Amino acid sequence: MACSPKRPDPLRDAEARVRALTREVGTLREDLRREVKRRERAVAQAKEHEEARRESEGRCQELSYSNRKLASELESLHETARAGQERDRRALRGLREGLAAVESAVAARARRGYAHVRQLQTAHQQLRALLLGLASSCSPHAAAGSSSLAAAAAAGFPGGAVDASLLANVTVLSSVAAPRVEQLLGAAQAHAARLAELLAGGEG
């Protein structure tokens, strides 16, 4: 008697499929958990990167502003330095020109002073020679007056003023010599006054 073929057990097959599906579902769940964790880490890193990017942009803006401000301040300093150098150059130029003008004025005043001194000395020498010549030829009364004139003339007219006794003694001279003496005395007094003015101007 022949044996009949063995029939598959549907329940057993279903249980096997359920176990296989259960294992597959477990594997898929584990993969899903790992993927979720990876996504969470990626999202956290993305947030960190975004925050770092914003901080970098803010820092870059701050540095750009600081750079522009420093560049503006540097340009302002350069402008101030250039203006200061120009002022210094103008001041030095003015000082040189002023010094040259002062030196020229002092030299001109000195030349005028020397000229007046020479003229004063010349008038003094001429007056002294005239008085000495008159002293040897005039009367005793005129000679006495002439001697006082000569002594005063030899003193060099101190202070630039003519002594009153000199002018008084001129009246006793001869009519020919008196005008010349008065002329020399006037010239000497004028040169002495001019020299005093020059000296006073130099002190001022």
Rounded Cα distance between 199 and 204, Å, is 9
Sequence spans of domains, the chain: 116-203
Rounded Cα distance between 168 and 70, Å, is 88
End-to-end CA distance of the chain, in Å? Answer: 163
pLDDT digits (tens, 9 = 90+) for 40-91: 999 999 999 999 999 999 999 999 999 999 999 999 999 999 999 999 999 9
pLDDT digits (tens, 9 = 90+) for 113-151: 888 788 878 877 887 777 777 666 654 444 444 444 444
pLDDT digits (tens, 9 = 90+) for 16-25: 889 999 999 9
CA proximity to 123, closest of 172, 191, 188, 197: 188
